[in-house]
Amino acid sequence: MSNNINLLAEVKETAKKWLAPEFDELTRKQVQNLIDNDPDELIESFYRTLEFGTGGLRGIMGVGTNRMNIYTVGMATQGLCNYLIKNFPNEKQIKVVIARDCRNNGELFAQTAAGIFSANGFKVYLFDDLRPTPELSFAIRHFKCQSGIVLTASHNPKEYNGYKAYWNDGAQMIEPHDTNVIEEVEKITSIAQVKFNGPKENIEIIGHEIDEIYITELKKLSLSPEAIAQNKDIKIVYTPIHGTGVKLTPMALKAFGFENITVVEAQAVVDGNFPTVVSPNPENAEALQMAIDKANEIGADLVMATDPDADRVGIAVRNANNELVLLNGNQTAALLIYYLITKWHENGKLKGKEYIVKTIVTSELLIEIADKYNVASHDVLTGFKYIADIIEKKFGKETYIGGGEESYGFLAGEFVRDKDAIMACALIAETAAWAKSKGKSMYELLIDIYAEFNLYYEGLVNVTKKGKAGAEEIEKMMHDFRTNAPKEINNSKVILIKDYQLQTEKDLTNGSQKAINLPKSNVLQFFLADGTKISVRPSGTEPKIKFYFGVKTKLKNKSTYESEMQTLKNKINEVAKSMNL
């Protein structure tokens, strides 16, 4: 009890600083109301400072040090400014781009950040309205900027907003910039250190002209114009789930040549409250339900949904019974990689210096597909910024075809450096048109891929352990797996262990060991004799430890696809059970 009293006393002292004149009147009133009437919310709002992590800021909106508001956004922006000034001392004028998604307060936060960048002497390119995250990445490169930010909380609930920072290559920051920016942000301990309200002449409003340039670049990725011409009336239902894809996705599809696009009207309303869904996450079946209903009503072949900042896409295709079924991120990535590499080969574009990239928890099927055409493949840590890092390092020397992650992110081409759902939607539609020109559905194409290579299925198990005790338990689980690794899982021998924390790969069949040339990360992988892959990693943002399972088998007969897939799903359950999950 005394701990709570002490915490409340400390929090009140912190909150009283927000009653000072440098805070606006509405903020002061809201803080005073919390002090007087709501001790629980007061504690939640002020018990800590909202952390600027390697991915930027993300939090619930409201007043207080632990909330997203113009002051926490302002302090983060000033810290970023200070870091950019240190890093680019010879730039005549540092340049940045600002974009935002559909979330509440997005425009306010974008305007606030623009004023601060301007006050620090920067040239600011500010989008006139909501725009997708990948377009922000594109604009940084287009204007040759040193940085950029996008105000988004991705697929989080409506109470949240966020702030992602980008470097001059158009990618989210990695070492050393990510941790160095954090240090600079942490040095901003007072609102008095923030330079607000710079001159308006430093801020240039941008909009449709960048849309046009981006779409022009995107159209260059098209590999099968003849297949699209044959199937331009393929029925597509699309939903932006109230977010930023609402304008550019239909625009991209039309630029590619598709003419029969139905947008879900109720979800085309830009609304940060996401009134038609529980969660605006295309990984969740519920988020696609309205689009699926519309597709069934009009007999559409393909359903696509993008998340609020339009960097991830979920799709549904028709199965052998003409039912719309959802594909997971691994399946979508496999279809796209197969299509892209096959067409690069058919079009004579493979010169021997091409490559793809996937994250370590994404399906090994992508590597099998690449190997067939002698296309190099690279594994990177979870996070699209690591895919972007490979692209930057190889830029001008080797050619990136495409890459993806199991969590519904995909990117083709080199002009954007973050996952791009606008691009993915256009290429998914083109893949469907290409398949149709060969007399196949997307579903049949996927089964063909499984028959040619191997039938893969991936599953994810999240184990939640809350509080301090939970964090310690997760730490102990990782320690036990690392120091006392299983020799057998589900009656299959462990033949290879990859430890990304120790950066070692150990072959248990012969005892040999080699280094992993990736940044340190608290991830373990176990590869079994039967082809099973198990990846274990604690979540960086939630009190969870994640277990990614990948299993495979030979698909000898396409007619047994459904039963073989069910067998693999059962196998994942058995593997998880054998690990006491």
* Amino acid present at 290: M
Instruction: For residues 73 and 110, give the distance between their C-alpha atoms in angstroms, rounded to a whole number.
Output: 9
How far CA 59 is from CA of 52, 171, 289, 530, in Å, comes to 10, 22, 28, 43
Q: What b/e string do you get for 112-128 counting C-beta neighbours within 10 Å, with b at 16 or more? A: bbbbbbbbbebbbbbbe
Instruction: For residues 355 and 349, give the distance between their C-alpha atoms in angstroms, rounded to a whole number.
Output: 12
- With residues binned 3-state (H G I as helix, E B as strand, rest as coil), the percentages for the chain, rounded to 5, are 45, 20, 35
Tokens of 146: 């040193």
The single residue listed with the structure tokens 């939903």 is 239
- Residues carrying an active site annotation: 154
- Quickly list H helices, 143-207: 177-186
**DSSP run (H or E) holding 570:** helix 561-578
Instruction: For residues 39 and 68, give the distance between their C-alpha atoms in angstroms, rounded to a whole number.
Output: 19
How far CA 509 is from CA of 364, 506, 512, in Å, comes to 21, 9, 8
Separation of first and last alpha carbons in the chain: 36
Instruction: For residues 203 and 126, give the distance between their C-alpha atoms in angstroms, rounded to a whole number.
Output: 7
Extended strands (E) in 194-282: 203-206, 236-239, 261-263
The single residue listed with the structure tokens 């070692």 is 504
How far CA 495 is from CA of 43, 378, 487, 511, in Å, comes to 50, 21, 8, 10
